[in-house]
Chains A and B, each alone.
Chain A
C-alpha cells in the first residue's frame, strides 16, 4: 500500500483512545512489575516498596520447587509436542490445502473443534481416558494431551503457507521425473521452511503456557512450570510469597525469551490466530 508511515493525529477521540491504551499499559506494567519487585524484596508490607532487596528468593524457589527438574520436564514436553504435532499436522495441512474430496468439510471441522472448545471440556474426559490406559500421571500423558490442540494449530498455521506454494511448481517437478518423495523433500520442504518454523515456534509458546491440559494429566513428576506455579500459588501461606514471585519471574523470563525468538520468525498476530497481516513492503 502507498500509505506512508505516519504518526497518529491528535483529535479529541484520538486523545481518549491514547489515554485508554496508556492506562492499559500502565496497569499491565503494574501487574508485571509488582511481581518482579516483590521477588527481589526482603520484606514488603503496606509500603510503596520493600524495605530491602535480596536475591535469596530465587535460590529458595529453585530448591523448594525443584525448578531444575520442572524446567527440564517443561522443555522435554514442549520439544516432544512440537516435533510430533508438526509430523502429524503438516501432511494433513498439505492435503487440506491442496485437495478437494468428499467429506472434506467434516474432516476440517473435526480438526477445528479442539481449538474451538475450552480445554477443560474435553480435558476431563481425555484425562479420564488417559488414566484408564495408564498414560496420565506421566510425561507421555502430558504430551498426548497437549497434542490435542497443537496438531490442529499446526494444520491451521501451515495451510496458508502451503497454499502460497504454486501447485504448478509441484507439477513441474513431477514432469521432470520427481516422484512423490522427491517432490516433498527437494521442492516442498525447502519452500515450507518458514511455515514449519512458524508453526513449531507457535506450538512451543502455546505448550509452555498451556495450563489446563497439563494440569489435568500431570503427575507429581511431570508438572510443567506453569502448573508448578499454580500449585505453589494455590498453596499460598505455606511458602513465602516472595519465592512464589521469584518462580513467576523465572516463568516470565522463560516466556519472554521464547517470545523474542518467536517474533523473529512470526508476526505478533500469528501468535493469536491464523490471520495474515499486511505484508511489510
Chain B
C-alpha cells in the first residue's frame, strides 16, 4: 500500500514545472516553432549537408575547394565586402549628424520621415531602374554637369561599382537615418542639459554623453544596414557590372543554382555567404557588448 495519497503526487509534478515557468500556455509557441523548424532550420541544415555532397563527386569539401580554388569565385567575397562595408558605414556615419540635428520636434518632421520611407518601400529593383535613367550617360545628372561645364564628357555612374553603391545609399541611408533618429529620441534630453549645467560644451556633451549612449544603437543600425547591403542582388545585376566589378557572392550562388543547376555547389556558396556575414555580425556584436547598453533615460 502506498503511503502517499495519489492526490498529492500529480500536483507536485505540476508544481515543479510551474516553478520553471512551464505551463499550458507554452503550446501557443508550437505553430511558430514548427514553422521555423520546417521552413528555416531544416532547409538551412539540408543546404549545409547538401553542400558537403558535391554533385560531380570528389571529397566532402570539394564544393568549398572549388569555390576557394577559383579566383573568379573567391573574389566575390571581397567584391561583396568592398561594396557592402563602405556603403553601410557611409549610411550610418551620414545619418548621425543629420539625425542629431533633426531630433526633437519641428514642423514637417512627419513629412520628412515619410519621404524617407519611400525609397525603402520601393526597393532595389525600382531604384535600379531610376538610377539607370537618371545617372545614365544621357540622364539628367550628366546633362546638368555638362551644361554647367563641370565635366567635359559624361561621367560613367551606371553599370559599374558606383551604380551599385548609389543604389545602396538610396535605399540604405533612409533606413539608417530613421533607426538612428529613433535611438536618439530614446535618450533623455535632460541628461545633456545636466551636462551643460556642469560646464560641458556642445561638442563635449555630444562626445561624452550622447555618443556613448547612442553607440549600441549605432552598432545595431550598422548591422541591419550591412545585412541589407550584403544581400545586394538585383542592383548588382541591373546597375552594376555583373560580370566584373560588381560580381557579388549572391550572384555567384544564384548562377550556380539557376544557371548551372548545381544545387549542391549553390548551397555551399550560400553557406560561405552566411558565414562571412555572421563573422561581420559577430565582430560588431562583440564590440557592442563592451559598450554600455542599459537604460538611456528616455522613453524609447
Contacts and interface: CB of A to CB of B under 8 A. Distances in A.
Given A31-B130, A110-B36, A128-B47, A209 B121 contact: yes
A128 B254 CA distance: 12
Interface in A241-262: 244-245, 248, 251-252, 255-256, 258-259
Contact of B98 (A17, A99, A259): A17
Instruction: Tell me if B's interface is mostly helix, strand, loop or mixed.
Output: helix
Interface in B242-260: 250, 253-254, 257-258
A279 B35 contact: no
A8 interface: yes
Interface in B120-142: 120-131, 133-134, 138-141
Contacts of A139: none
Interface in B217-275: 223-224, 227, 230-231, 233-234, 237-238, 250, 253-254, 257-258, 263, 266-267, 269-271, 273-274
A249 to B, nearest CB: 9
Contacts of B178: 268-269, 271-272
B122 A209 contact: yes
Interface string A5-23: 1111000011001001100
B292 interface: no
B118 interface: yes
A259 B121 contact: yes
A223 B4 CA distance: 66
A8 B50 contact: no
A38 B120 contact: no
B218 to A, nearest CB: 13
Interface stretch (A57-65, A70-78, A111-119): A111-119
Interface residues of B, number: 97
A275 B267 CA distance: 34
Contacts of A211: 123-125, 233-234
A117 B280 CA distance: 12
B85 to A, nearest CB: 14
Q: How large is the interface on A (under 10, 10 to 19, 20 to 34, 35 or more residues)?
A: 35 or more
A114 B40 contact: yes
A32 interface: yes
A88 B39 CA distance: 13
B64 interface: no
15 contacts: A8-B102, A14-B101, A92-B29, A100-B21, A101-B26, A125-B46, A209-B122, A209-B123, A211-B123, A230-B125, A258-B121, A268-B116, A269-B182, A272-B178, A276-B300
Given A99-B26, A116-B281, A205-B121, 10 more contacts: A17-B102, A91-B29, A95-B26, A102-B22, A120-B250, A124-B257, A128-B263, A229-B129, A248-B130, A269-B181
Interface of B: 20-22, 24-26, 28-29, 31-33, 35-36, 39-44, 46-48, 50, 94, 97-98, 101-102, 104-107, 110, 113-131, 133-134, 138-141, 143, 170, 173, 175, 178-179, 181-183, 185-186, 189, 223-224, 227, 230-231, 233-234, 237-238, 250, 253-254, 257-258, 263, 266-267, 269-271, 273-274, 277, 281, 298-300
